[in-house]
Amino acid sequence: MSAEERSAVGRRELTYAVLLCLAGAGLALWAATRSWSVELTVRPAPLPPVRDTRSGGGLLPWLPALALVALAGGGAVLATRGRLRQVLGGLLGALGLAVAAGGGYGLVADIGGSVSRQWPALCLLGGLLVAAGGWWTALRGGGWPAMGARYERPVRSAPATTSVPAGSEGPPAPLAGRRTTEAWDALDRGEDPTAD
């Protein structure tokens, strides 16, 4: 497999892993904000019963917070590279399992009242998606391509101090009258195209 083919495969795997993390975290966050249980408290007539709805976040306050962290971590996979990306993938895998555990708790726990099981199930599914994307990143993410560094300033060694004889050319001339692409290329080299 050529380097170009490996890069294409790496970009595709990176895309799938990020989409798994983002979709799973978004699904879990949405499901955690839905009503997981409704409890009716009967009051004497003619007063209507009191309806007490509790969301997943109300029952497990840490659940939406973990889903938000997983959502941010899914985006951070794009901005990292190498070993740091693999460590982040491991953390996302652990976060996904914690979110899935919260959804699983909502499925089996006796939380009182009329319980809606589809929201904890969706939270469980979202956590598993985050965990899958995170573990995939931890295992394979070290070789995936990183964001481009085209416009990062290049590292230069210290210039040698030489004297410029009188009448000889000094620094490069400004880019007056040149095309826009030449100005961008000058920026890539670290030159200031606006200097006179």
Q: Specify the pLDDT at position 164.
A: 53
Based on the number of CB atoms within 10 Å of its own CB, is 54 exposed (0-12), middle (13-18) or buried (19 or more)? Answer: middle
Q: Which of 98, 76, 87, 70 has its CA nearest to residue 14?
A: 76
Please list the ranges in the chain whose pLDDT falls under 70.
Answer: 40, 112-113, 148-179, 196
Q: Specify the pLDDT at position 162.
A: 52
Q: Specify the pLDDT at position 17.
A: 93
34/22 Cα distance (integer angstroms): 19
Q: Are 92 and 137 a contacting pair, CB within 8 Å? A: yes
Q: Specify the pLDDT at position 28.
A: 95
Q: Specify the pLDDT at position 156.
A: 60
Question: Is the N-terminal amide bond of 46 cis, ω within 30° of 0?
Answer: yes
Q: Specify the pLDDT at position 177.
A: 54
Give the pair of three-digit tokens for residue 40.
């009716």
42/49 Cα distance (integer angstroms): 5
Q: Specify the pLDDT at position 172.
A: 56
